[in-house]
Amino acid sequence: MGKPTKQRRKGQVAARAKGPSGAGMAMVKNNPFEVKVNKQKFNILGRRTKHDVGLPGVSRSKAVKKRTQTLLKEYKEREKSSVFKDKRFGEYNTKISPEEKMMKRFALERQQNHEKKSIYNLNEDEELTHYGQSLADIEKLNDVIDSDSDTEERGILSAELTAAHFGGGGGLLRRKALTGEQDEEEEKPKSRKELIEELIAKSKQEKRERQTQRENALELTEKLDTDWKEIQTLLSHKTPKSERKDKEEEKPKPDEYDMIVRELGFEMKAQPSDRMKTEEELAKEEQERLQKLEADRLRRMHGKDEQENKKKPKHMSADDLADGFILDKDDRRLLSYKGGKLNVGNEEEEGGNEEEEGESEEESEGEPGREDEEEAIVEEDDATDSPSDLESDMGSEEEVTANEEQKKKHKENEQKLQSEEEQNAKIEAARSELPYTFTVPESYEKLKSLLFGRKIEEQLVILERIQKCNHPSLAVGNKAKLEKLFGFLLEYIGELATVEPPELGTIDKLVLPLYSLCQMFPEAASSSVKFVLQDAAHDMEEMIEVKGRATFPGLDMFIYLKITAIVFPTSDFWHPVVTPALVYMSQLLTKCQVMTLQDVVKGLFVCCLFLEYVSLSQRFIPELINFLVGILHIAIPQKQPQGYTLVHPFRPAGKNSELLLVCDKKDMETWQKQNLPLSIMTRLKESSKTEINHFRLSCLAVCLDLIKKCAALYESLSSFHEIMQPIRVLLTEHIPVSEYPKQLQELHKNALKEIEDKGKHYTSMVCEKKKPVPLKLYMPKIVKVLEFGRKQGGSKEEQERKRLIHKHKREFKGAVREIRKDNQFLARMQLSEIMERDSDRKRKVKNLFNSLATQEGEWKAMKRKKFKN
């Protein structure tokens, strides 16, 4: 039933459009018998009533009329099957565009016309047209042509015209462009409104002028025409064609200059680009960006909730002394009054404008002086950048900026720059050999086969190209693919760390693509790192359950933890990746047994990680101190701890309690501090006793340095001395310093100094003052009422839903009513049909009876006659 109703709707609209004439309506409305008034029980303020007065008769007749036009027609045609077919060219062909269709049709029509013309009629030629008007009409030139086209045709030079013709150079555009900024030439800038008014006035004046001109011209042509007719008779008879030609010649042909101008007008104009930024500005921008990021980081470090920020009032109290030390720039406005009104919003804008003005003025003043220098600098820059620019044609901008940044940082250091260049050259070489496009590997094995065994530079280039060829902006699926790449790369790095010997150089370089990938897809990166962490923690838990104790994991896990510190900010109060990593590291230090020198190195590595994680936030890590105490303990001859206590992984006595003890005097003397190679974690080389002793001393040196760092980090903690107490006891009483080599003694002295230098200050703790709880106020709750009769309450969606339900209900009711009325109408029609048929039949029967009766009568009369006769 949907379709007919729709059709009816259309019909309704049409009917309404036609409607009863206005006068008729008025008459009907005035007739009190036609009007039905719906009485209102209560008069409600603000309620608009739509249906207080109705015209039942009119609406009924309208409905009936509509039905007879639509439903009745349908009913009557219900068993007819003839179809209307449109035989126009291409009517049902959707492949042809409407323009083409029109063209074809037109051509066909022309063809038909052409063929139908009587071949004997030579005189009649085709009618020439221009833009749908016959040329013959145009020829006469006496019609009124509208003004705009007129001006263009005649090439009058007005201000607008020149503006339009000479696009960028003219006053209008420039003025428009410069309204935002400040025009240097104009001393007093006009407001936009004034400018527009001026413009309108000017154009009006010009229009008036043009009109008078045109009228003059018309008069003149008419005069010329009459003159000409007079002369015409005198001249020999000429065909109208020639006349036409003459006229055409009269019309000025567009000359070359105009054509070029117009062409230029339609050409794409070069947009004015931003001026190249100077190095200082770039540096400043970079600085600002970093400052903003740092402020952001600090905010996260202190763990201030966003809600807290939301709660902040938009303005400060007028009494605020602004003496609170706030790290972030406080950009709230001071509450102030201006002209008796609260001035909150405007000031900022004004201030902003003023500032901008000041700046721009300064700039404009300073510019001419500086320009030369700047140009020189820019040129220099260009010169240095040109090779990199060339190579970056195929590379992305990121790469270039990264390169530039690196260069900037190393500018002072010639040597480093050279190595950088060397590396660049290497990368260039690698580039020239490798294919240019790569698909993203679908699995880890594929990535491995792509990268493994290649040179570092080649691997980097491959990864870079994978990223570029499959940038998320290029195709839809790329994002998901690249997101997976991070996980694969992480796995690959893990594998590189587990091979023998670990390829740490490669890992060192692979961190760069990892970082850029992470910047692109933080979510994916965090979930894959989290997955790795979960796996490791689960393994450890399992090991504890099965064996009762845990061992340190392999080198790969430590690399992962280090990478976490590189790609994620470690100073956040809470971070989805860093916090679990910290918990995991804490487990490493408390659960894993220290049984070999490798374990010592691993533990020290974790200590370093811990210190790095909290280097900015200066957070307190009990496990770290415990572990360092343990390390010091295993460096002294075995005895029961005095003045300090050991916790879990370390035992006061046992087989591993002298792991770092060195007794050999000679080894002590020959020792030199050296960095601990990471490869030791996977395999301790079978080395001589001397080397092992040296190694022990190196570990001890690291430990002492870490203690110093800890002491520096934690000096602000209120129980610093309690925390450091066990370490101090160990350092002063137990460690055999005098036997150690000079370098170690120095370290020991530094560490101890760092601990003991701190003064002891204790201040009694006082709770923060509690805000007094405000009294409960029994104010009426005020709810905004938007409109009467609307249902209130609920969220926006809920309201929308209710509205839709209501609408549906009403529509449904309406449809049911319509259908019912349709049925009634149809029934009425059918009834009238039947009645008509019946009456017809009755009439016919009557006729028959009539004729039969007359026949009978006649027959009887005849019979009677006969009988009489």
**Residue 64 binds other proteins (CB under 8 A):** no
Angle (CA) 394 396 401, round 5°: 125
Q: Rule CB under 8 A: choose which of 764, 780, 787, 867 binds other proteins.
A: 764
3-state secondary structure of 687: coil
Beta bridge partners of 337: 342
474 touches 443 (CB < 8 A) = no
Please state whether 453 falls in left (phi above 0), alpha (psi between -120 and 50) or beta: left
**Residue 310 binds other proteins (CB under 8 A):** no
Q: Which is nearer to other proteins, 71 or 540 (CB)?
A: 540
**Residue 537 binds other proteins (CB under 8 A):** yes
> Which string of DSSP letters, residue by residue, matches 799-823?
HHHHHHHHHHHHHHHHHHHHHHHHH
Segment interacting with other proteins (CB under 8 A) among 75-83, 336-344, 401-409, 836-844: 401-409
Residues 6 or more apart in contact with residue 224 via CB below 8 angstroms: none
**Residue 528 binds other proteins (CB under 8 A):** no
**Residue 268 binds other proteins (CB under 8 A):** no
- Which of 708, 795, 798, 794 is CA-nearest to residue 749? 708
Q: Which is nearer to other proteins, 676 or 826 (CB)?
A: 676
Number of residues in the chain: 869
Instruction: Find the shortest distance in angstroms from Cβ 485 to other proteins.
Output: 17
**Residue 653 binds other proteins (CB under 8 A):** no
Of residues 411 through 470, those in contact with other proteins by CB under 8 A are: none
Of residues 769 through 798, those in contact with other proteins by CB under 8 A are: 770
Q: Which is nearer to other proteins, 552 or 605 (CB)?
A: 605
Q: Which two tokens mark 549?
A: 């104790």
Sign, CA dihedral 664-667-669-673, equals negative
SS (H, E, C) 336-395: EEECCEEECCHHHHHHHHHHHHHHHHHHHHHHHHHHHHHHHHHHHHHHHHHHHHHHHCCC
Q: Which is nearer to other proteins, 662 or 700 (CB)?
A: 700
Q: Rule CB under 8 A: choose which of 464, 599, 623, 822 binds other proteins.
A: 623
Q: Which is nearer to other proteins, 174 or 509 (CB)?
A: 509
Q: Which is nearer to other proteins, 740 or 825 (CB)?
A: 740
**Residue 687 binds other proteins (CB under 8 A):** no
**Helix or strand run (H / E) with residue 457:** helix 456-469
SS (H, E, C) 715-739: CCCCCHHHHHHHHHHHHHHHCCHHH
Instruction: Find the shortest distance in angstroms from Cβ 100 to other proteins.
Output: 53
Instruction: Find the shortest distance in angstroms from Cβ 493 to other proteins.
Output: 10
Q: Which is nearer to other proteins, 105 or 648 (CB)?
A: 648
How far apart, in Å, are the Cα atoms of 584 and each of 196, 199, 524, 625, 758? 69, 73, 20, 16, 32
Q: Rule CB under 8 A: choose which of 335, 402, 469, 543 binds other proteins.
A: 402
Segment interacting with other proteins (CB under 8 A) among 1-9, 43-51, 765-773, 824-832: 765-773
Segment interacting with other proteins (CB under 8 A) among 77-85, 197-205, 575-583, 787-795: 575-583
Instruction: Find the shortest distance in angstroms from Cβ 643 to other proteins.
Output: 10
Q: Cα–Cα distance between 237 and 354 in angstroms, integer?
A: 80
3-state secondary structure of 495: helix
Segment interacting with other proteins (CB under 8 A) among 123-131, 319-327, 570-578, 842-850: 570-578
561 touches 585 (CB < 8 A) = yes
**Residue 612 binds other proteins (CB under 8 A):** yes
Instruction: Find the shortest distance in angstroms from Cβ 560 to other proteins.
Output: 11
3-state secondary structure of 134: strand
Q: Which is nearer to other proteins, 165 or 530 (CB)?
A: 530
Segment interacting with other proteins (CB under 8 A) among 195-203, 204-212, 537-545, 851-859: 537-545
**Residue 652 binds other proteins (CB under 8 A):** no
Amino acid symbol at 327: L
Q: Which is nearer to other proteins, 151 or 617 (CB)?
A: 617
Q: Rule CB under 8 A: choose which of 574, 757, 773, 793 binds other proteins.
A: 574
**Residue 486 binds other proteins (CB under 8 A):** no
Q: Which is nearer to other proteins, 115 or 523 (CB)?
A: 523
Q: Which is nearer to other proteins, 301 or 752 (CB)?
A: 301
Q: Rule CB under 8 A: choose which of 273, 309, 675, 869 binds other proteins.
A: 675
Q: Rule CB under 8 A: choose which of 523, 669, 686, 797 binds other proteins.
A: 523
Q: Which residues of 638-653 are buried (b: 16+ CB within 10 A; e: fewer)?
A: eeebeebebeebbeee
Q: Which two tokens mark 852?
A: 């039969």
At 337, give phi and psi (nearest 5°). -120, 145
Q: Rule CB under 8 A: choose which of 148, 194, 227, 405 binds other proteins.
A: 405
- 748: how many CB neighbours lie within 10 A of its CB? 20
Q: Cα–Cα distance between 711 and 747 in angstroms, integer?
A: 13
**Residue 569 binds other proteins (CB under 8 A):** yes
How far apart, in Å, are the Cα atoms of 126 and each of 107, 247, 291, 753? 14, 20, 79, 112
How many chain residues interact with other proteins (CB under 8 A)? 99
Q: Rule CB under 8 A: choose which of 217, 293, 499, 819 binds other proteins.
A: 293
Q: Which is nearer to other proteins, 70 or 526 (CB)?
A: 526
Of residues 341 through 400, those in contact with other proteins by CB under 8 A are: none
Please state whether 443 falls in left (phi above 0), alpha (psi between -120 and 50) or beta: beta
> Which string of DSSP letters, residue by residue, matches 533-577?
HHHHHHHHHHHHHHHSSB----HHHHHHHHHHHHHS-TT-SS-TT
**Residue 519 binds other proteins (CB under 8 A):** yes
3-state secondary structure of 133: strand
Q: Cα–Cα distance between 169 and 162 in angstroms, integer?
A: 10
Segment interacting with other proteins (CB under 8 A) among 108-116, 345-353, 538-546, 805-813: 538-546
**Residue 590 binds other proteins (CB under 8 A):** yes
Q: Rule CB under 8 A: choose which of 101, 468, 591, 821 binds other proteins.
A: 591
Beta bridge partners of 334: 316
**Residue 546 binds other proteins (CB under 8 A):** no
**Helix or strand run (H / E) with residue 36:** strand 36-37
Q: Cα–Cα distance between 625 and 604 in angstroms, integer?
A: 11
Q: Rule CB under 8 A: choose which of 471, 509, 749, 802 binds other proteins.
A: 509
**Residue 155 binds other proteins (CB under 8 A):** no
Segment interacting with other proteins (CB under 8 A) among 230-238, 252-260, 715-723, 860-868: 715-723
**Residue 650 binds other proteins (CB under 8 A):** no
Segment interacting with other proteins (CB under 8 A) among 295-303, 742-750, 795-803, 822-830: 295-303
Q: Rule CB under 8 A: choose which of 456, 496, 577, 752 binds other proteins.
A: 577
**Residue 641 binds other proteins (CB under 8 A):** no
Q: Rule CB under 8 A: choose which of 485, 517, 525, 628 binds other proteins.
A: 525
- 605: how many CB neighbours lie within 10 A of its CB? 21
Of residues 37 through 56, those in contact with other proteins by CB under 8 A are: none
